[in-house]
A = this chain, B = another copy of it.
Amino acid sequence: MSAALRELHDSLLSEEGGTLATYIPELARVDPALFGLALATLDGRVHAAGDADVPFTLQSISKPFVYARALADLGLEAVLSRVGAEPSGEAFNAISLEPGTGRPSNPMVNAGAILTTSLVSGDGPAARFERIRDTLSAFAGRRLELDEAVLASELETGDRNRALAYLMRNAGALRCEVDEALDVYFRQCALLATAEDVAVMAATLANGGVNPRTKEAVVPGPVAEHVLALMASCGMYDGAGEWLLRVGLPAKSGVSGGIVAVSPGQFGIGLFSPRLDVRGNSVRGVAASRVLAERFQLHLM
C-alpha cells in the first residue's frame, strides 16, 4: 500500500498544471510544489507519501466535520430544518438561499457552512469555536492548531461571506450576530492539518464515527453516514455529479489544495497539493483520487 502511494506520488509530480488560490492572499504564499498523500485503514494504520506531514489550513474540508458536530448536537431533523441537503448545481460561493426562508441549500457551500457553524452548541463564539476545534481534533486524533496569518488574511478578504451572512440574517435564517458567526467560521477554516491528519479524519467517518487510531467515538454511526451522504451529493460543488460518476467516493475539497475522500467501511484518504483547477479543486488531488479509486476499486457503485 505504501509503495503504491509512493509510486502514485512520483507519477503525478510532473503534473504542474493549475494555479494557487489568490482570493485569500496568505494562501498564495505557499510552496506550489508541495504534494502529499495519505491513506488510513480502519485498523489504525496510516500509509503516506510525499509531503503528507506538511500542515495546511483545512478551509472547506472543515465543513463536513463541523456538520457532523451539528448533527450530533441537534439531531438530523433540527439541522435539516435550518440547512438543506440538496446540491445547488452552483459554485462554492453561490447565493443559493431558499426563497422566503433564506435557508441555504446545503452545508457544503459557504452559506450553508456558515449557518451550520452557528448551530454548534456553545455559550458564545469562543466556546463554540473551542467545541469545533475539539471535534476536529478528535477526528484527527491530535490537537489541531490555528494559522493566525491565514486567519487574519481571511478576515480581511471575506466580504462575500459577510454578504452571505447578512442575507441569511436578514431572512431570519441566521440567528446570531454576523460578526460572531463569521469569526467562528473563519477560525475553523484556518485550522491546520496534514494529509495524514485528513486521512485519519476521513477514516473516522469510514469507521462509523470511531477514530480507528484513538478508538474514540467522535460522533454516532448514523451521523457519520449522513455526513458521507452529503459529501457524496454536494461535496464537490458544481462538479459533484461528475465526481460521483468518475471517482465514486464521498469527498470534499478545500481552496488551500486539500481533498478528503472516504471509502465507507474501508479507507480514509487525505490529499494535499496547492495548485487548483478552475473549479477550485487540487489538480494533483483530483488526479490521485481517480487513480486510487480505480486501483483499489473504491467506486461506491
Chain A residues with CB under 8 Å of chain B are 80, 84-90, 95-96, 105-106, 159-160, 162-167, 169-170, 178, 224-226, 228-230, 232-234, 238-242, 244-245, 248, 250, 264, 299-301
Is there contact, CB below 8 Å, between B241 and A86? yes
Residues of chain B contacted by A178 (CB below 8 angstroms):
159, 162
Q: So how many copies of this chain end up in the complex?
A: 4
Is there contact, CB below 8 Å, between B250 and A232? no
Cα–Cα, bound, A84→B250 (Å): 20
Interchain nearest-CB distance for A148 vs B (Å): 23
Q: Which of B88, B229, B242 is within 8 Å of A301, CB to CB?
A: B229
Q: Identify 9 new A-B residue pairs, CB closer than 8 A, beyond the known A162-B166, A233-B241.
A: A84-B241, A86-B241, A87-B89, A89-B90, A89-B105, A162-B178, A163-B164, A225-B248, A229-B300
> What are 24 A-B pairs with beta-carbon distances under 8 A?
A80-B242, A85-B241, A86-B89, A87-B87, A89-B96, A159-B178, A160-B166, A162-B162, A162-B163, A163-B164, A166-B166, A224-B301, A225-B301, A226-B245, A229-B241, A229-B244, A229-B300, A232-B232, A232-B244, A232-B301, A233-B241, A233-B244, A264-B301, A300-B300
